[in-house]
């Protein structure tokens, strides 16, 4: 038997209801803020991610699915959604359109990581991007959207953690301070952190190695290095959140794993589902569009991991998106009544109900068992007597009551019982 590749997951019909519910709530939340959907390709030129995500990040250095296509081009399966949206924005000339530009997306993303709970090689994200607004209101709006989405899906116990990693200027001073702190400790740290030390010392703060984490805990905090403008921006984001009634905690250890961030960064974290506790993460990336050869355009956004959200909802025994049962099962006893059952089922579907009838030539008893298994809300059984009378018992499976109804009144009966 051929098996699914490592780190991938099937979504079966019985689970799809939860995905659909999350996606529906995500769309409704994004649209409440005036965001429109954007869809970009699953693969892009490798260079887009090297430039957009940053070639000192784990994602680009270790995790990308990159290959040469038959034309010899280097292609990469997208490891995240932001770079593709930025490319599409520039390429389609949307810079000349209405500002701010607001878009949300659902993407499958691909990262060659060690598979474990909450860490897959193909996973899915819901994300939102807001371009063209530099002020703290935009940060607050994007965080509010994230917060509304999480509240609406009914996830409990997530904590919003925010930080500011400043602009390029703040970071020059901060990087120097980090180097000074880490230099004498490098021999105790992992190989990756040793490489990060020279390329981008802030990356060390994102290392998952326990010893590196311990050492990083004592490092200088970026908040002490913010310039006046960045500090004022961060203070305004915080007061807007407070006024909106969104609780948060400042956590200077958050630096985010991708290179494009500046100023505000944030994560919604939870302890409900084990080690992979970040369900939604984002921040501001004011230099990303410039790196895509666009004119300087401030940007802020987030991405939520769908599988992690579902894991947490499962751990919390949430009812979100339980699969809806079919409205009606129509059973037939013999040849002519089976034919009528087929036609009646079709009529009910066209009247707007979900409906099933027998396709396997099963006995009435077996048909009833099936109707029970799928949780049909109503059952209609047709035999020769029903055909003669042009009427049948419509049984309400929830209440066990039933009534005799003319064929052309069955839809009406089901409707009035709903
Ligand atoms: P982590 O620190 O957990 O590796 P990240 O910083 O790499 O996360 P982002 O690139 O910000 O994650 O992606 C946003 C969200 O996508 C994460 O918060 C998480 O919910 C989800 N996510 C990231 N990588 C994976 C993965 N390999 N499998 C499942 N979900 C993931
Ligand atoms: Mg990661």
Q: Are residues 280 and 136 part of one domain?
A: yes
Residue nearest to atom 14 of ligand 1 (CA): 303
The string of pLDDT tens digits covering residues 195-211 is 989 888 988 988 888 99
Give pLDDT, residue 253: 87
**CA distance to 135, 162, 222, per residue, from 226 (Å):** 16, 15, 7
- Domain final residue pick, 287, 315, 343: 315
Instruction: Decide if pLDDT at 99 tops 70.
Output: yes
**CA distance to 43, 73, 121, per residue, from 69 (Å):** 11, 5, 20
Distance 173 CA to ligand 1 centre (A): 28
Give pLDDT, residue 167: 92
| 206 Cα nearest atom in ligand 1 | 2
Residue 209 lies in a domain: no
Q: Are residues 287 and 257 part of one domain?
A: yes
Protein residues whose CB sits closer than 6 Å to any atom of ligand 1: 80, 111, 113, 118-120, 123, 125, 257-258, 276, 278-279, 281, 303, 305, 307-308
Residue 208 lies in a domain: no
Instruction: Decide if pLDDT at 260 tops 80.
Output: no
Residue 262 lies in a domain: yes
Q: Which domain CATH number covers 407?
A: 3.40.50.800
Instruction: Decide if pLDDT at 222 tops 80.
Output: yes
> What's the per-residue H, E or C state across 299-347?
EEEEEEEHHHHHHHHHHCCCCCCCCCCCCEEEEECCHHHHHHHHHHHHH
| 257 Cα nearest atom in ligand 1 | 6
Q: Are residues 363 and 243 part of one domain?
A: no
Cα gap 125→259, rounded to integer Å: 19
Q: Give the range of the structural domain holding residue 372, as residue numbers without chain letter.
A: 328-417
Q: Are residues 298 and 233 part of one domain?
A: yes
Q: Are residues 343 and 303 part of one domain?
A: no
Give pLDDT, residue 224: 95
* Residue 156's pLDDT band (cuts 50, 70, 90): confident
Higher pLDDT, 254 or 67: 67
- Domain final residue pick, 267, 294, 315: 315
Q: Which domain CATH number covers 278?
A: 3.30.930.10
Q: Are residues 334 and 299 part of one domain?
A: no
Residue 202 lies in a domain: no
By the 8 A CB rule, do 383 and 334 touch?
yes
Closest CA to 151 of 273, 11, 268, 12: 268
Residue 354 lies in a domain: yes
β-strand 249-250 against 159-164: which pairing, if any? parallel
Q: Are residues 290 and 358 part of one domain?
A: no
Cα gap 3→55, rounded to integer Å: 33
Q: Are residues 348 and 306 part of one domain?
A: no
* Residue 276's pLDDT band (cuts 50, 70, 90): confident
| 63 Cα nearest atom in ligand 1 | 27
Q: Are residues 342 and 284 part of one domain?
A: no
The string of pLDDT tens digits covering residues 1-42 is 999 999 999 999 989 999 999 999 999 999 999 999 999 999
Q: What is the mean pLDDT of the chain?
A: 94
Average pLDDT over residues 248-270: 89
Instruction: Decide if pLDDT at 370 tops 80.
Output: yes
* Residue 257's pLDDT band (cuts 50, 70, 90): low
Domain count across the chain:
2
Q: Are residues 261 and 410 part of one domain?
A: no
Residue 38 lies in a domain: yes
Structure tokens given for 94: 């949307």
Distance 307 CA to ligand 1 centre (A): 10
Q: Are residues 150 and 41 part of one domain?
A: yes
Instruction: Decide if pLDDT at 82 tops 80.
Output: yes
Distance 170 CA to ligand 1 centre (A): 26
Residue 203 lies in a domain: no
Give pLDDT, residue 263: 96
Rounded percentage of the chain residues whose pLDDT exceeds 70: 99
Considering every ligand atom, which ligand is closest to the CA of 110?
1
Distance 65 CA to ligand 2 centre (A): 14
Instruction: Decide if pLDDT at 323 tops 70.
Output: no
Average pLDDT over residues 158-174: 93
List, in sequence order, every beta strand (DSSP E) within 12-135.
36-37, 43-45, 65-68, 74-77, 101-110, 122-131
The string of pLDDT tens digits covering residues 326-344 is 999 999 999 999 999 999 9
| DSSP 8-state assignment for residue 194 | H
- Domain final residue pick, 257, 284, 315: 315
Average pLDDT over residues 185-195: 92
Distance 276 CA to ligand 1 centre (A): 8
Q: Are residues 233 and 333 part of one domain?
A: no
Residue 178 lies in a domain: no
**CA distance to 157, 183, 189, 302, per residue, from 195 (Å):** 36, 12, 10, 28
Average pLDDT over residues 104-116: 97
pTM over 0.75: yes
């Amino acid at each position: 038997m051929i098996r699914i590749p490592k780190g991938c997951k099937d979504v079966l019909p019985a689970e799809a209801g939860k995905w659909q519910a999350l996606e529906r709530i995500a769309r409704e939340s994004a649209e409440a803020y005036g965001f429109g959907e954007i869809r970009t390709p699953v693969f892009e030129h490798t260079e887009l991610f090297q430039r957009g995500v940053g070639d000192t990040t784990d994602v680009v250095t270790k995790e990308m699915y990159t290959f040469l296509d038959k034309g010899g081009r280097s292609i990469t399966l997208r490891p995240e959604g932001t770079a593709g949206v930025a490319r599409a924005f520039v390429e389609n000339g949307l810079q000349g359109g209405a500002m701010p530009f607001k878009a949300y997306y659902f993407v499958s993303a691909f990262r060659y990581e060690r598979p474990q709970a909450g860490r897959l090689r193909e996973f899915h994200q819901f994300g939102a991007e807001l371009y063209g607004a530099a002020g703290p209101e935009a940060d607050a709006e994007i965080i509010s959207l994230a917060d509304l989405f999480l509240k609406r899906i009914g996830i409990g116990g997530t904590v919003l953690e925010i930080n500011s990693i400043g602009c390029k200027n703040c970071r020059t001073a901060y990087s120097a301070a980090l180097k000074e702190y880490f230099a004498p400790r490098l021999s105790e740290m992992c190989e990756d952190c040793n490489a990060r030390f020279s390329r981008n010392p802030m990356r060390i703060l994102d290392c998952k190695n326990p010893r590196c984490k311990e050492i990083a805990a004592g490092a200088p905090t970026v908040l002490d290095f913010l310039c006046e403008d960045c500090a004022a921006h961060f203070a305004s984001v915080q007061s807007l959140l407070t006024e909106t009634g969104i609780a948060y905690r400042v956590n200077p250890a958050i630096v985010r794993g991708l290179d494009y961030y500046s100023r505000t960064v944030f994560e919604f974290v939870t302890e409900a589902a084990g080690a992979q506790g970040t369900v939604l993460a984002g921040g501001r990336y004011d230099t990303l569009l410039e790196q895509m050869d666009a004119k300087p355009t401030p940007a802020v956004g987030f991405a939520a991991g769908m599988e992690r959200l579902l894991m947490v909802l499962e751990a919390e025994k949430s009812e979100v998106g339980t699969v809806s049962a079919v409205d009606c099962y129509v059973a037939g006893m013999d040849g002519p009544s089976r034919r009528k059952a087929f036609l009646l089922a079709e009529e009910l579907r066209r009247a707007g109900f979900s409906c099933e009838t027998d396709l396997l030539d099963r006995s009435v008893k077996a048909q009833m068992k099936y109707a029970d298994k799928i949780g049909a809300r109503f059952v209609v059984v047709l035999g020769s007597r029903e055909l003669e009378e042009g009427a049948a018992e419509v049984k309400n499976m929830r209440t066990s009551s039933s009534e005799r109804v003319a064929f052309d009144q069955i839809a009406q009966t089901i409707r009035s019982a709903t």
